[in-house]
Amino acid sequence: MSLNYKKQNLFVNNVSIKSVAKNNITPFYLYSYEKIRSNFENFSNYFKKVNPLTCFSVKSNSNILIISELGKLGSGADVVSKGELMKALKAKIKPNRIVFSGVGKTEDELLYAIKKKVLLINIESENEAMLINKLSKKLNRITNIGVRINPGVDAKTISKITTGKLDSKFGLIKSDFLRFCKNSKKFKNIKIKAVSVHIGSQITSIGPYKKTLDFLLKMIKSTGISFEFVDLGGGFGIPYNKKDKIIDIKNYAKLVQTFKNKLNCKIIFEPGRFIIGDTGTLISKVVFVKKSGKKYFIIIDAGMNDFIRPALYSAKHEIIPVMKSKKRINGNVEFVGPICESSDTFLKYKNFTSVNEGSLVAITNVGAYGSTLSSNYNTRPLAAEIIIKKGQIKVIRKRQKISEII
């Protein structure tokens, strides 16, 4: 994100965070439109020769204004529920640029997607294909589907977000995929238009992607089907701190170009984190500085209900002060939230810039899987979401009132 200090004050795109906090209750999410646009344009440039359909992963950030802004930049949408599909449509994403994925779509969700004529419904089981065929027959329609294959590839990422191993719930394994493709003609009201794959999230090496492309090429040729689309999913990782590895996206683009040339198909990508991850910051206020023996607990008003990634994945997001100080807290420092669980902790430091009760801090790189994973746990209201665009501050989701949840 475009964060920088001016005279000890933290700014986003030349707007003082302190000035934003004057009129908004903490905690709140703060996004940079310029960074969102830059990330999307950079992604498009990496794959310029591939000329893919880029479908933003709505689950990574489902704010309608953000989806809408990405749509204006040329993005489609990857959705995994009826709610996400409705949001994408409300954001003016055209149905023929929407891919509906997910392992457990209900009859109601499928019926809605069929009626809206989305580009593809990516199936994950033969039972799902049977249901889509039945529903389409009732509507006297032919529905375009993609078939998700499980490549048996370890994405070498966090185990909870690895989705391409053979023991995962996602997609059809090799034998089931080949059998389904062979017998697909018995389904008169569906048409196989694509093969789909998604091996995980926060992937920082192109090795697993190369294995997946090699596997896909063999499988596609084995089916004898000329797929119009190949949906390669997303999962591209971002660096959350200086030590994190950066994925070699340029070389991956070359691999995809070679892959595409062998098949003459349209490539679909479903990036989420890569587009939105580093565009957001969670601004929080220090409630108490608690000294316990030789340790300092910095208790802030943001909790795991607002941002659950550290508790859920042991994710480490750098925390920086909104107001710099030359003074230091010397000793072990831990940033924690107000929730009544020991897992409500954000990050530990050995020494930290001095902060006091009322000081503002910024939890960085929270644009993806931040607000979209937030909850009302402990009966706490959802935080506001704010975007800065061309120097203008705009609330894109109002802070929830306690009266709305009791």
Domain endpoint, select from 276, 306, 328: 276
In sequence order, the β-bridge partners of residue 191 are: 144
> Are 103 and 135 in a shared domain?
yes
Annotated catalytic, 55?
no
pLDDT tens across 21-68, in order? 999 999 999 999 999 999 999 999 999 999 999 999 999 999 999 999
Domain count, the chain: 2
> Are 198 and 340 in a shared domain?
no
> Are 21 and 38 in a shared domain?
no
Q: CATH number of the domain that 306 lies in? A: 2.40.37.10
Amino acid making up residue 374: S
Amino acid making up residue 116: K
pTM for this model (two decimals)? 0.95
> Are 242 and 381 in a shared domain?
no
Nearest to 370 by CA among 240, 203, 245: 240
> Are 40 and 166 in a shared domain?
yes
Amino acid making up residue 393: I
> Are 257 and 211 in a shared domain?
yes
**Token representation of residue 214:** 């090699």
Cα separation, 218 vs 214, in Å, equals 7
Say what the pLDDT of residue 161 is. 86
Cα separation, 337 vs 344, in Å, equals 6
Helix (H/G/I), strand (E/B), else coil: 11: strand
Residue 34's CB is within 10 A of a number of other CB atoms, namely 18
Cα separation, 161 vs 96, in Å, equals 28
pLDDT tens across 356-371, in order? 999 999 999 999 999 9
Per-residue pLDDT band for 165 (boundaries 50, 70, 90) equals confident
pLDDT tens across 110-162, in order? 999 999 999 999 999 999 999 999 999 999 999 999 999 999 888 888 888 88
> Are 207 and 297 in a shared domain?
no
Q: CATH number of the domain that 151 lies in? A: 3.20.20.10
Burial code of 275-296, b = ≥16 C-beta within 10 A, e = fewer? bbbbbbbbbbbbbebeeeeeeb
Q: 188 phi and psi, to 5 degrees?
A: -80, -15
pLDDT tens across 214-264, in order? 999 999 999 999 999 999 999 999 999 888 889 999 999 999 999 999 998
> Are 215 and 343 in a shared domain?
no
Cα separation, 22 vs 254, in Å, equals 48
Per annotation, catalytic residue among 55, 181, 265, 340: 340
> Are 146 and 271 in a shared domain?
yes
> Are 169 and 53 in a shared domain?
yes
**Token representation of residue 206:** 């192109």
Nearest to 289 by CA among 382, 362, 352: 352
Domain endpoint, select from 247, 276, 305: 276
Amino acid making up residue 207: G
**Token representation of residue 37:** 């646009």
Say what the pLDDT of residue 181 is. 95
> Are 214 and 203 in a shared domain?
yes
**Token representation of residue 213:** 């492309």
Q: Which residue has the tokens 């990496």?
A: 46
Domain endpoint, select from 276, 308, 335: 276
Cα separation, 296 vs 333, in Å, equals 5
Cα separation, 255 vs 271, in Å, equals 17
Range of the domain at 367: 3-31+277-404
Cα separation, 347 vs 391, in Å, equals 31
Amino acid making up residue 297: F
Say what the pLDDT of residue 347 is. 97
Instruction: Return the H-helix or E-strand segment holding 140.
Output: none
Give the DSSP per-residue string, 238-281: --SSTTS----HHHHHHHHHHHHHHH--EEEE--SHHHHGGGEE
Instruction: Return the H-helix or E-strand segment holding 41.
Output: helix 33-46
Amino acid making up residue 142: I
Judged against a pLDDT cut of 70, whether residue 1 lies above it is answered with no
Using CA atoms in the order 358, 360, 366, 371, what is the torsion angle rounded to 10 degrees?
Answer: 40
pLDDT tens across 288-326, in order? 999 999 999 999 999 999 999 999 999 999 999 999 999
Q: Provide mean pLDDT across the span 270-275.
A: 97
Cα separation, 150 vs 316, in Å, equals 29
> Are 107 and 160 in a shared domain?
yes
